[in-house]
Each structure stands twice: as C-alpha cells, then as structure tokens.
Structure 1
Amino acid sequence: MNQLWTYFTAHQDQILGWARTTVWLAALPVMTGLALAVPCGWLAHRHQAVRTPLTSGLGVLYTIPSLVMFLVIPEMLGTRILSPFNVVTALTLYTFALLVRSVLDGLDSVPEPILSTATAMGHTTRQRLLSIQLPLALPVIGAGVRVAAVSNVSLVSVASMIGTAQLGQLFLAGNNTSSLPPIVLGLVSFAAFALLFDLALLAAIRLLTPWRAVTR
C-alpha cells in the first residue's frame, strides 16, 4: 500500500489527467451509441425484414477485436493513430452494436394489450413510443447500457497499446519498468471506474422508473 501511494504521489498530475481522459473516453461512446441504437432498435422492432440482418450484422461487428478496431479506424477516417477520436469511434460502434439488441428486446417486452389500449386512446406511433414503449422498456435497455458502460471502461485500457494517453498507460509503465505498483494502481482504478459507472447508471434507472419500486 505504501508503494502504491508513493507511486501515485510521484505521478499525481499525470495520473489525474489520464483519469479524466479515461472517464470521457468511456462515457461519451455510451451516450452516442445509445442515441444511435434507439431509432435502429425501434426500426428492427417495427419491421421484421430489418430485424435479422441488422442484429446479425451488428453481432459480427461486436466480435471484432478492439485492438484491430483501434488500428483500422484511423485508416478509414484518415485520423492520426494517437487521436482519442479513434477510441471514441470504436467504442461507439461496440456500444451501438450491443444496445440495438437491448433496445429491441426492451421494446419487444412491452405487452401488446398496453399498446392496443394506447392506440385505442388515440396515441400516434410517436406518442406511443415516447410515452409508453420506451419508459416500459427502460429496465431492459438500462441493463444493456450498464453492460456497455462497464465494457467500455475495460476496452479503454486496450487503447494504451496504440499510445492513447489514459490510465491504461499505467500497465505499460509497469511492464516497461518491471514495477508492480503502477499495474496494481491501474487495476484498482479501472475496477473503481467500472463500479462507479455501474452504480451511477443503476441509480439513474431507478430514478427514471419509480413505478418499479411501488410495484415491489
């Protein structure tokens, strides 16, 4: 423990800078991926012809190793290999691929009688989606968002292999110097961030679905 604290205090400014970068590298793709996944998931829910090709294609996308993605994206976009934009783009694609299925499953979980009642009451398709389907699907979608957020925290560390400055650099520093404290500090940091992301999302989901607490 003393060695960890000594290493942290000796590199405090750099580590805190890496921590800030790690947070937004992990969080921004979740928000962007969710924003893209909701309309695509709804489209797959509405049209059976779209469902299978879309989910199958995104399933293949999710299997691409993250390191390969980090190396391919700069070639496709013409960005610098060290640009954080490459990491954000890759993680957004992974998040999108994961959350389309979550949105689809969430919308599928809404009971049909509720939708029929809403239609009978004069709700338009848009009103039904925003006021009934998405709120009722939120627990399922939220579970997918929690998985995506924790996965992104882990995948950010892989970006250190291409030189992106974030907490994953601690692993390289420990490996290059055969020193254990930076490696342990990196493990603790990523585990802490993953836990904090998960708890924050869980609290947000509970706040947005108060009826579930009443039901319980």
Structure 2
Amino acid sequence: MSPGTAVGQAVTWLNDPLNWTNPGGILDRLTEHVTISAAAVLLGAVVAWPLGVWLGHSGRGGAVVLAVSNVTLAIPTLALLTILPLTFLGFGQRPVIVALSVFAVPPLLANAYTGVRSVDPQTRDAARGMGLSGWQLLTRVELPLAVPYLAAGFRTAAVQVVATAALAAFVNGGGLGQIIAAGFGLSIAVGGGQVLAGGLLVALLALAVEGLLALVQRVLTPRPLRRAGRSGDGAVTAGA
C-alpha cells in the first residue's frame, strides 16, 4: 500500500461517524485510554511524590532517587504488561495501570526530589531562624517553591504514559491501541488506514495532554516562580 493510499483510508475511516459512536468505537476507546492513563499517573504520583519530597527535604536521598529511577527505566513496559496479567491482577485494566504507573515514577520522583533540593539554602536558614519546625519548613517553604518542578514532572509523566498506553491492547486492556491492533488484524491493504488513524489519535491525544497540562502548570505556578518553572522543565528531561 502506498503512503498516499494509507492516508486516504485513514481520513475516510476517521470521517465515518459509526467509527466514533459504535460500541468499541473511537469515543469508547478514547475514554478508556484517558481513564487508564490518568489512573496510572495518579498512582505513580502517590508513590513517587512523597518519597521524592521527603528525600529532598532530608538531603540524603540522591543515590536512592538515582537508583529507583534507573531501575524503573530499565524495566520494559511491554514486559510488565505481559507478566502482570499472569499474577493475581489478571487481565484487563488493572495490570495495565500498574505497569504504566511504574513507567511514570522516574520523572515524578526525580522532579520532586530536585524541586525540594533546589530551594535556596539561605531561604531554609531564614525559615529555621524564624522558628519553623522541619515539617513547617517543608510545607510552608520547600513545597511551594518546588511547585514548578512537581508540575513539570507530572506533565512529562502524563505525556509519556498517554503515548505508551497504546500497548494496553496487547493484554486486552482497552484504549486507543485496540484500534491499531484491530487494524493489524486485517490485511495491510484493508486495515492500513485504520492503523494509521489509531496512531494519529494517540499522537493527537498526547499533544493535547501536553498543551493542557502546560497551561495548568502556568496557572498554578505563582508568577515569580514561572521562570523557575522553565528550569523545572529542563530538570524533567535530565531526571527522566
């Protein structure tokens, strides 16, 4: 099949209203994809943020953060998606969410740690001089100043998870990957356009999530910290 033919078939497939509204159509798969991705990122944040923030506050966790990030990055997501359904989690969305949450941990953990450690030592000293306890220092000074890093880490993790969640189709986990898998189940001459359409939908969703979270990050970050937030974006790349 020529590229032009595949593109034409993809446009035709996307313009068919039944492919959007039928059971198992685009709207159903999109809802599944967003649900799986959101649950995975939130689960990753519940695990990674408290650990990263506490290690950053204590100042003794650099090696731990590096080790955890390296270990989680070294585990292939597809391998986890293959292994976890054979455990008590079974097939479906639960093993997919767990596998994707592991994939989300490195940027969340690294940015939480980096955000807290990036606080100016003089600011910490001034806070302690005012009589703030360790907990008050963390909640009133370090965490607010780490907001750009936390938001940037969440954004990176979300985009990565959305893009990777298409692999859920391998274990019947739902999502837009099911559209791609169904296209591959047909001959290339027949299903090539559907495969291309599914890939395009995943890419567009990832771009939409990136844009939306970039806007949310900017709104939630205090104006004086927005420049620091740009530095936080760079930390995401290094941390991830």
TM-score of the two chains, using structure 2 as the length reference: 0.80
- CA distance change for structure 1 residues 55 and 213 in 2, over 3 Å: closer, same or farther? closer
- Tell me the residue number matched to 2:161: 152
Paired with 1:161 and 1:46, the residues of 2 have a C-alpha distance of 40
Match of 1:164 in 2: 173
For residues 190 and 208 of structure 1, the distance between their equivalents in structure 2, rounded to whole angstroms, comes to: 27
Work out the CA distance in 2 between the residues paired with 1:35 and 1:41.
11
Give 1:94 shift. 1.9
- Distance change >3 Å, CA 98–CA 83, structure 1 → 2: same
Q: Distance in 1 between matches of 2:106 and 2:225?
A: 30
Q: Distance in 2 between matches of 1:213 and 1:103?
A: 16
Unaligned runs of 5+ in 1: none
User: Deviation digits for residues 83-103 of structure 1, max 9, x if unmatched?
Assistant: 201011111122123311111
Query: Is 2:55–2:62's contact at 8 Å kept on the other side of the alignment?
Result: yes
Deviation at 1:12, TM superposition (A): 2.8
Q: Aligned partners of 1:204 and 1:11: how far apart in 2? A: 28
Matched to 2:47, the amino acid is L
SS of residue matched to 1:171: helix
Aligned match of 1:199: 211
Any idea what the Cα deviations from partners look like across 1:24-44, whole Å, max 9, x if unmatched? Answer: 111122122122222211232
Looking at structure 2, the residues matched to 210 and 102 of structure 1 have their Cα atoms a distance apart, in angstroms, of: 18
CA 1:12–1:152: 2 relative to 1, 3 Å: same
| 1:115 aligned to which of 109, 112, 124 | 124
Shift of 1:7: 4.5
Q: Which runs of 5+ in 2 are unaligned?
A: 1-7, 229-240
Equivalence map 1:115-154=2 (5 Å): 115-154=124-163
Instruction: Report the more deviating stretch, 166-175 or 52-61.
Output: 52-61
Do residues 190 (structure 1) and 199 (structure 2) align?
Answer: no
The question of 1:173 aligning with 2:189 is answered no
The superposition leaves residues 16-74 of structure 1 with CA deviations (integer Å, 9 ceiling, x where unpaired) of: 11110100111122122122222211232244554313431331122211110112223
Q: Contact 2:85/2:171 (CA < 8 Å) preserved in 1?
A: no
1:25 aligns with 2:6: no
* Root mean square deviation of aligned Cα: 2.2
Alignment-mate amino acid for residue 189 of structure 1 = L
Contact 1:40 1:100 in 2 (8 A): yes
Q: State yes or no: 1:57 paired with 2:68.
A: yes
In structure 1, the residue matched to 2:79 is 68
One-letter amino acid of the structure 2 residue matched with residue 206 of structure 1: R
Q: Which secondary structure state, in structure 1, belongs to the residue aligned with residue 146 of structure 2? A: helix
Instruction: Tell me, in whole angstroms, the C-alpha distance in 1 between the residues paired with 2:58 and 2:134.
Output: 14
Q: Which residue of 2 aligns with 1:79?
A: 89
Q: What SS does structure 2 have at the residue aligned with 1:122?
A: coil
2:71 is the alignment partner of 1:34: no
Once residues 42 and 17 of structure 1 are traced to their aligned partners in structure 2, the CA distance between those partners, rounded to angstroms, is 37
Q: Residues 84 and 119 from structure 1, CA distance in 2 versus in 1: closer, same or farther, beyond 3 angstroms?
A: same
CA contact (8 A) 2:72 2:105 kept: no
Task: Say whether the 8 Å CA contact 2:85–2:95 is kept in structure 1.
Answer: yes
**Residue-by-residue CA offset, 1:96-134 (whole Å, 9 max, x unaligned):** 233111111111111111111111122222222222211
